[in-house]
Structure 1
Amino acid sequence: MGDISSSNGNGNGNGFYGNGHVAGEGRRKSCWYEEEIEENLRWCFALNSILHTGATQYQDIALLDTKPFGKALVIDGKLQSAEIDEFVYHESLVHPALLHHPNAKTIFIMGGGEGSTAREILRHKTIEKVIMCDIDEEVVDFCKSYLVVNREAFCDSRLQLIINDARAELENREDYFDVIIGDLADPIEGGPCYQLYTKSFYESTVKPRLNEGGIFVTQAGPAGIFSHTEVFSCIYNTLRQVFKYVVPYSAHIPSYADTWGWVMASDSPFTMDAEEFDSRIKRRIKGENRYLDGKTFASASILSKIVRKSLAMETQVYTEGTAKFIYGHGAAHKSHP
């Protein structure tokens, strides 16, 4: 994450900077957050205030009060979620897998320290146990303190929070899960979790911990017309090597300034139509989804021609030795799993 600077003009890299604007005869100063999406493209928005910044053992963290998107959580210089549109991301990550499963009762979340994924899972009436395993206790404690919207989820008796590396936790457990969800940070070079996108991890750790008919779903990075070749197509192709049925889907996330991708995988086919999708929402989920219903998911899983072509032609498999990363860099000088 970039430094906080009080100087006028643009800051370098990801971070915050002050910028003076002439308003009539006076001079109005605004504080801005800037994220370098790629080498020649930056995304910035105005801040009301910087609520918190810090560094944990694994990553840099900030909570910003932004003018366009409300409170926003930023980790390693990458915006993770924003108050105004996080529901799009978390409904898309959680509900397709849980609704396609005939009777999901036990869920394992890899990452998810923010608590929003657990919140959406716990809306399902069938759920009996949710294990949320995040490696960074400081981030989890931070989110518990600052993200009021998820406090009820953190207090739910069905949720068990474990601080550990998700790979180690899954390898050492003897129980099985109906759905495993990858709510991990993006794979960035020097980041704490790119190994959790590899074929060996999916094959030897994730799949063996699924019950029969179980479903795995992961966030899979940017999925826009140009950005989908960073990691989305590779993650999709990697999961195709491990599971019989793989469904990529995407949605536009305004605060990410891009379309985002997820990939759902299972050895059981995904055959549910939009009508049954909506029927299961009504029977199973407490409250009303703001974003996702049957038609929305049907649309989300029909990708554009250029993206479909890339996914069909993708040959790279994600391994420790051939890892792909989105633009950016984690805290490589710090220890990671």
Structure 2
Amino acid sequence: MGEISCSNGNGINGKNHTLAGYRKSCWYEEEIEENLRWCFALNSILHTGATQFQDIALLDTKPFGKALVIDGKLQSAEVDEFIYHECLVHPALIHHPNPKKVFVMGGGEGSTAREILRHKTVEKVVMCDIDEEVVEFCKSYLIVNREAFCDSRLELVINDARVELESRTDGHDVIIGDLADPIEGGPCYKLYTKSFYEFTVKPRLNHGGIFVTQAGPAGIFSHTEVFTCIYHTLKQVFKYVVPYSAHIPSYADTWGWIMASDSPLTASSEEVDLRMKQRIKGENRFLDGKTFTSAATLSKAVRKSLDNETHVYTEGTARFIYGYGKNNQG
């Protein structure tokens, strides 16, 4: 649903009137909803391509730096991706008493692995992404993650995450869902279902293990798309479920994550800070104990929707965010 267009400012066609205050500019435009679009100026289009599973593009944007776009949806932008990836990774690893083995579903750009590998307790990270071309693309273009891809603790697997998890006999302390959003025709929506959580994810968690997933838009108007039903679905499978959210500027919305376990997820703000200081190399830019407490304190409207949600996510009753994957484009 993303489009790139180039035009001359103020209706000037074919002439470069730089001295008069006019200049040619390119814009990326993403259709967030049927009547709502989000656009920003580009410095350049670094790469576009199509894989077996997805359409991909790397854009150099004026407001957000390099931005990775998959199936017309902005996945990650250079200036604020740290918000998303710190929120996805650190709460689960910090709430676990001693995370050594971590499995990542998706995560092809390498940023999730980068954040996990900052944890001193971690001995092994398995990153399983279905799309080898996206992984290689990100290895080539996203310099910030090159060190993570070279870390000896990282095992990179190209496979469907469900197939890979079901084929493995080893357990994991933390399993992370860094998957593309559930969109119609996309490759990932089946990995948000109750059956997948119950029969594939949960049996692969070690005792005290924690599962966390990105859970789509969680804004005041957007949280009922998939956030609430992913939460309700996880509640059918795990004893303790914690939803949380944060605003990500390049997404033009608040984003949601959900953490789940059969062990209590009750670390205090002070305990989170202490564990971060003891376990994590370097300083987080966004997340600390107070920030996580704030992120997990959702608004009245969102809490009410979470409490009232009755929909369980299955393959036959899937919900999607706005947009279409490569295999279902009109």
**TM value normalised by structure 1:** 0.94
Q: What's the counterpart of residue 34 of structure 2?
A: 39
1:313 aligns with 2:308: yes
Q: Count matched residues.
A: 322
Q: What's the counterpart of residue 13 of structure 2?
A: none
Cα distance in structure 2, aligned partners of 1:306 and 1:231: 15
Cα distance in structure 1, aligned partners of 2:103 and 2:167: 13
Q: Choose the corresponding residue for 2:140, options 133, 139, 145.
A: 145
1:177 aligns with 2:172: yes
Runs of 5+ unmatched residues, structure 2: 11-17
Q: What's the counterpart of residue 283 of structure 2?
A: 288
3-state SS in 2 of match to 1:228: coil
Kindly state the Cα deviation for residue 327 of structure 1 after the two structures are TM-superposed: 0.1
1:123 aligns with 2:111: no
Kindly state the Cα deviation for residue 115 of structure 1 after the two structures are TM-superposed: 0.1
3-state SS in 2 of match to 1:65: strand
Cα distance in structure 2, aligned partners of 1:166 and 1:272: 29
1:1-337 superposed matches below 5 A = 13-22=1-10, 25=20, 27-332=22-327
Q: Which letter does structure 2 place at the counterpart of 1:201?
A: F
3-state SS in 2 of match to 1:205: helix
Question: Which digits, 9 at most, give the CA deviation of each residue in 1:95-132, with x for residues without a partner?
Answer: 00000000000000000000000000000000000000
Q: What's the counterpart of residue 14 of structure 2?
A: none
Question: Which digits, 9 at most, give the CA deviation of each residue in 1:54-90, with x for residues without a partner?
Answer: 0000000000000000000000000000000000000
Question: Which digits, 9 at most, give the CA deviation of each residue in 1:290-327, with x for residues without a partner?
Answer: 00000000000000000000000000000000000000
Runs of 5+ unmatched residues, structure 1: 1-12
Per mean C-alpha deviation after superposition, the further-off stretch among 45-54 and 21-30 is 21-30
Kindly state the Cα deviation for residue 333 of structure 1 after the two structures are TM-superposed: 5.6
Cα distance in structure 2, aligned partners of 1:323 and 1:162: 27
**TM value normalised by structure 2:** 0.96
- Matched-pair contact (CA < 8 Å) for 2:186–2:328: no
Cα distance in structure 1, aligned partners of 2:279 and 2:156: 24
Question: Which digits, 9 at most, give the CA deviation of each residue in 1:113-155, with x for residues without a partner?
Answer: 0000000000000000000000000000000000000000000
Q: Which letter does structure 1 place at the counterpart of 2:47?
A: H
3-state SS in 1 of match to 2:119: coil
Cα distance in structure 2, aligned partners of 1:288 and 1:27: 43
Cα distance in structure 1, aligned partners of 2:316 and 2:21: 56
- Matched-pair contact (CA < 8 Å) for 2:94–2:275: yes
3-state SS in 2 of match to 1:27: coil
Cα distance in structure 2, aligned partners of 1:213 and 1:260: 26
Cα distance in structure 2, aligned partners of 1:283 and 1:225: 36
In the TM superposition, structure 1's runs of 4+ consecutive aligned residues that sit over 6 Å from their partners are none
Question: Which digits, 9 at most, give the CA deviation of each residue in 1:200-248, with x for residues without a partner?
Answer: 0000000000000000000000000000000000000000000000000
Q: Which letter does structure 1 place at the counterpart of 2:8?
A: G
3-state SS in 1 of match to 2:23: strand
